[in-house]
Amino acid sequence: MLALIAGTGALPEEVVNCLVERPVVCAMEGFTPDTLTADIVFPLEQLGSFIADLKTRGVTEICLAGAVRRPVIDPSRIDAATMPLVPVLQQALMSGDDGALRAVISIFEDSGLVVRAAHEIAPGLLPQLGCLTEAQPSEADLADADRAAGILRAMGAADIGQACAISKGQALAVESIFGTDWMLQSLTQRPDAGGGVLFKAPKPDQDRRADLPTIGPDTVSGAVAAGLAGIFIEKGGVIVLQQEQVVEECNRLGLFLYVRERAS
């Protein structure tokens, strides 16, 4: 049996819609899914008891999908089953995003649960290689994508972000803890004439079972508002939410969407 630990955003519902059988939908307090009703809501301070509950229900696999911010732990709420996990949770809360996810995944695996990626159980979330739109990238855009891939490799080594905006070989903006939408919003007042590309890909050594980068219709709107010409994403590394709508919006607004091979 599969349990989906759902955060906020559109991804959890898309995963559920791709499955033949509805999983047990779970959510951490304060980060319940936007469009799904959770069967189990648990506080992080009772993670150990939550895992025991899953196993009692016959759950053998879990999938983490959706956005979750770092919660503040209330020591008075930590129960006996969670007490042995406190050192790992403390390490997770003090680590970068990828390090935090690795720590959380280790807790579930050590308890005997198999952690599966959203795109593993719902492979249709990943688009095919090539240009998906009527608009095509120029040679300059392709060169900017190569430059962006190099920048993301450097960012990934520091566990910083999964996206950047590049124009004429120069970095316009890089993703921080505030996310891609905020980064694109920061470019709406850019002082130049526009142009350039958004590039999005996982961190080089990222555990791809959780926190795979995503784009959706809002990303398209944000890229247009930022004056960019198009979007590059890495094949097998970026989930496209509402794919049909994303492609339609790109075509309507004259943006390209290009799925390129993973940089070597």
Q: What is the signed CA dihedral for 158, 159, 162, 163, rounded to 10 degrees?
A: -40
Sign of CA dihedral 68, 39, 64, 174: negative
Sorted by where each starts, the structural domains of the chain and their CATH numbers stand as: 2-121 (3.40.50.20), 126-260 (3.40.140.80)
Which tens digit of pLDDT belongs to each residue from 213-226? 999 999 999 999 99
The amino acid that residue 125 corresponds to is L
CA atoms in the 13 A half-sphere facing the CB of 140: 11
Which tens digit of pLDDT belongs to each residue from 198-211? 999 988 877 788 77
- Name which of 263, 205, 216 is nearest 243 in CA terms: 216
Which tens digit of pLDDT belongs to each residue from 19-55? 889 999 999 888 888 888 999 999 989 999 999 999 9
Percent residues over pLDDT 90 in the chain:
60
Q: What's the confidence (pLDDT) of residue 97? A: 61
Strands of the sheet with 256-260, listed across from one edge: 130-131, 256-260, 230-234, 197-200, 163-167, 170-174
Which tens digit of pLDDT belongs to each residue from 9-19? 889 999 998 88
Residue 95: band (very low, low, confident or very high) from pLDDT cuts 50, 70, 90 = low
The 8-class DSSP code of residue 254 comes to: T
Q: What's the confidence (pLDDT) of residue 198? A: 98
In sequence order, the β-bridge partners of residue 259 are: 130, 233
Q: Tell me the pTM.
A: 0.83
Q: What's the confidence (pLDDT) of residue 99? A: 63
Taking a C-beta distance cutoff of 8 angstroms, is the pair 231, 255 a contact? yes
